[in-house]
Amino acid sequence: MRKPLTKQELHNLAMNHVGKDLEQSGFEFIAINSKLKKHPQFVCIDKNNQYFFVIVRAVLLPENPNNYDVIWMESFKKHAREKHAKVLYAGVGLSNIEDNTLPIFLNEDYLIEYNGIQVLETNFN
C-alpha cells in the first residue's frame, strides 16, 4: 500500500538535500531544527567562524520554491543581524514524478527542483 509523505516528511526530505549541499560547501553545523515552522533549520559556521542561519522551505511543484514571504523574512533578517549572522535561503520544490497532482509516496521516486542556496542581504536599506 502506498503511503503519502506528510508535510513534516516532505520538509525533512528537503532538509536532507540542503544539509548535504551545506556540508559539501564546507559549512560546520552548530544546530539543526527539523520541526516545521521553526526557524532557522540550520545554524552553521564557515571556515572564518561567520555564523549563518539557513531557512529551508519545501513546496509542492508547480509552486515556485524560490519565492518566500518577504515581510516575514525582513523580521527574520533583523533577528540574524542582532546575532551577527548571515541569512541563507534554500527553496526546494518537490513533486510526484509521474503526476504532480498526486502526492509523493514513501520509498518512491520524486522530482526535485533545487537551485541551490541563496544569500539574502541582511544590511539595512
Q: What is the domain extent for residue 91?
A: 7-120
Where does the pLDDT of residue 125 fall: very low under 50, low under 70, confident under 90, or very high at 90 and above? very low
Q: What is the pLDDT of residue 90?
A: 97
Has residue 125 been placed in a domain? no
pLDDT tens column, 3-34: 999 999 999 999 999 999 999 999 999 999 99
pTM above 0.75, yes or no: yes
Backbone phi, psi, residue 94, to 5°: -130, 150
Residue 124 has pLDDT above 70, yes or no: no
Number of domains in the chain: 1
CA distances from 13 to 5, 47, 73 (A): 10, 27, 22
CA distances from 107 to 1, 13, 30, 39, 70 (A): 11, 12, 30, 27, 34
CATH number of the domain enclosing 51: 3.40.1350.10
- Average of pLDDT values for 83-100? 96
